[in-house]
Amino acid sequence: MATGSNIYTFFKDEWHIGNIPIMNAADHASWLGSSVFDGARYFEGMAPDLLAHCQRLNSSASVMGLTSPYTAVEINDIILEGLKFYSENSAVYIRPMCWGVGNGFSTIVPDSEDIGFCICLEEIPMPSITDSTTLTRTRFHRPIIADNLCNAKAGCLYPNNARMLKEARDKGFQNALVADAMGNVAETATANVFLVKDKEIFTPIANGTFLAGITRARHIENLKADGFNVTECILTFEEFEKADEIFLSGNMAKITPVTKFNSKTYSIGPITKTAQSLYWDWANSTKL
């Protein structure tokens, strides 16, 4: 089932209308999970950091043991061609994907050169700054790089995130604030996370348990350029409970305010609003 509408799919070197079949029952990824993807956004005539997302797709493929059939620049250019199917007012989720088709020297290992590739474009509205979320804790935690592909945007990582979200929803919350293997805050089940305390901004330091996102890095750069102190460091759950503001950073929404963490409530604060404004100002400077 598709997440969005008005779908176009690039597969086998051409664009197709709709959510077309791309994978066979015996493909490596179908039963052994060797798929990677990335997500970018097109909205208001902008596709911020599109090339960076294409570069990360190919990096993720390499981590999975796959060789992407296209360079990052080629993927970027194919996506720009596909975006011509949409109006400037469309909000589009951009998802390039690679997956293993054949087996390598072992059934478990994908053939690094026998690769499936597609790009899926779907219209999905951009949330507004008032579309906030709520957080709770979860008994599940992020894996470490020694036992999982934490340095790739791999499909096989997401069932763990799904059970975090299900647990949070069962408790009456929308998302989960997630620990790393050491018990410190890593991110949420769907996005990177920032807290604001006394006008200082903090975010968990990248420690090999989660992807430090492209949008996260953009927020850090924008906020520092505007004169804010932004610190990447070890953060505890108690520090989030004492925060003045919390916001999430991810490609789908770019920035999402948090209005509740367990019993603690938060307003959509001035620094969260500033971070969103700075991002939109920067994105407009990259308009296609």
Burial class of residue 130, CB neighbours in 10 A (0-12, 13-18, 19+): exposed
pLDDT exceeds 90 at position 134: yes
Is residue 43 predicted with pLDDT exceeding 70? Answer: yes
CATH 3.30.470.10 location in the chain: 5-123
Band of the pLDDT at 130, cuts 50, 70, 90? confident
Task: Identify whether the C-beta of residue 129 lies closer than 8 Å to the C-beta of residue 276.
Answer: yes
H/E stretch holding 73 reads helix 72-82
In the chain, ranges of CATH 3.20.10.10 domains: 133-284
CATH 3.10.20.600 fits 133-284, yes or no: no
pLDDT of 1 above 70: no
pLDDT tens-digit map of 73-122: 999 999 999 999 999 999 999 999 999 999 999 999 999 999 999 999 99
Helix, strand, coil shares of the chain as percentages rounded to 5? Answer: 30, 30, 40
From 3.30.470.10, 1.10.287.1080, 3.90.110.10, 3.20.20.70, which CATH number describes the 5-123 domain? 3.30.470.10
Name the nearest CA neighbour of 181 among 150, 155, 217, 212. Answer: 150
pLDDT the model gives residue 287: 78
For residue 19, the model assigns a pLDDT of: 97
pLDDT bucket at 247, cuts 50 / 70 / 90: very high
- CA-wise closest residue to 201 among 227, 229, 175, 178: 229
Over residues 213-224, the mean pLDDT reads 98
Average pLDDT over residues 40-69: 97
- Lookup result for tokens 């999402």: 256
Element at 29 (helix H, strand E): helix 28-32
pLDDT at position 288 over 80:
no
Mean pLDDT of the chain: 96
The token duo for 187 is 């991110």
d(CA 122, CA 130) in angstroms, rounded, equals 23
Is the pLDDT at 162 greater than 70? The verdict is yes
Q: Is 240 helix (H, G, I), strand (E, B) or coil?
A: helix
